[in-house]
Amino acid sequence: MKKIAALAIVGLSLLSANVMAAVKSEAVNYELDGTKFIGQMYYDDAVTEKRPGVLVVHEWWGLNDHAKNRAEELAKMGYVAFAADMYGDGKVTDKPAQAKEWMTEVTSDVDAWRGTALAGLEQLKKSDKVDTSKLAAIGYCFGGGTILQMAYSGVKDLAGVVSFHGSLPSAPDGTEINTKVLAFHGNADAMVPPATVTKFLEQMEKTGADWQFVAFGSGVRHAFTNPDAGKYGVENLKYDEKADKRSWAGMQTFFNEIFK
């Protein structure tokens, strides 16, 4: 009986530890040039020491569940993840026309675009749980273009950036990149045609940066990481489980390298 009781106590202790060791999520309100933003911070409250921080930038739909889910997964892996709000007030849509309008408003002024992204990075750095010497940023679609613009700005705080099916804006001539760059692309992505890819690669080579570009074949389209890609009624958007898993694993290998 004593042995059974002891095992029961151990079991309860383990259960209690698992209950306590959970990913927490906190809304973070911040402001830039009079615009209010609402991001979401994710972290494992069982981890007591400072840990690497990762900025997550959403697709053109706004800060929806896709970006938040990825931030939560990063927190489960031991990072502090901040899902930034690039549109203000946490705006989200499922209408392509509205998404394009919001995205165009942001991207029409490159300096302001970069500034909004860097404001999100500042929120991540403010967390007392983050080791600010180990920072990275990842982004999807519009967010992929955003984190590339952060790299083009010359930011020195980021050890690396990862673009998933990003818009692949090309680096201007004379750009100095101080962070490692990894980009994943679907070869059948009609939103980012071959000419855009070629220009991106040519300009990246000119920068002399440490960069990698991975293209998935076999019909992989835009939004290949988003399980909800097909619900928007856009033919070019399609989830691809294999490309999703491979790119996520590639990101983890990249992080292991830059955070070692």
Q: Could you read off the pLDDT tens digit of each residue along the chain, which spans 260 residues?
A: 444 444 444 444 434 444 446 899 999 999 999 999 999 999 999 999 999 999 999 999 999 999 999 999 999 999 999 999 999 999 999 999 999 999 999 999 999 999 999 999 999 999 999 999 999 999 999 999 999 999 999 999 999 999 999 999 999 999 999 999 999 999 999 999 999 999 999 999 999 999 999 999 999 999 999 999 999 999 999 999 999 999 999 999 999 999 99
CA geometry: angle at 224 spanning 105 and 66, to 5°?
60
pLDDT for the residue numbered 21: 61
Identify the pLDDT of residue 4: 43
Q: 187, exposed or middle or buried, with CB in 10 Å at 0-12, 13-18, 19+?
A: middle
| 209-214: Cβ within 8 A, 24+ apart | 209/151, 209/177, 209/179, 209/180, 209/181, 210/180, 210/181, 211/177, 211/180, 211/181, 211/182, 211/183, 212/181, 212/182, 212/183, 212/254, 213/183, 213/185, 214/182, 214/183, 214/184, 214/185, 214/247, 214/250
What is residue 11's predicted lDDT score, i.e. its pLDDT? 44
State how far the Cα of 47 lies from the Cα of 62, in Å rounded to an integer: 30
Polymer length of the chain: 260
Return the pLDDT at 17.
41
Topology annotation, domain 23-258: Rossmann fold (3.40.50)
> What is the reported pTM?
0.92
- Which secondary structure element, helix H or strand E, spans residue 61, and what is its range? none
In this prediction, residue 14 carries a pLDDT of: 38
Instruction: Work out the widest C-alpha separation in the chain, in whole angstroms.
Output: 76
Of 164, 161, 152, 154, nearest to 107 by C-alpha is: 152
Question: Quick one: CA dihedral 144, 123, 151, 47, positive or negative?
Answer: negative
Query: What are the sequence ranges of the domains in the chain?
Result: 23-258
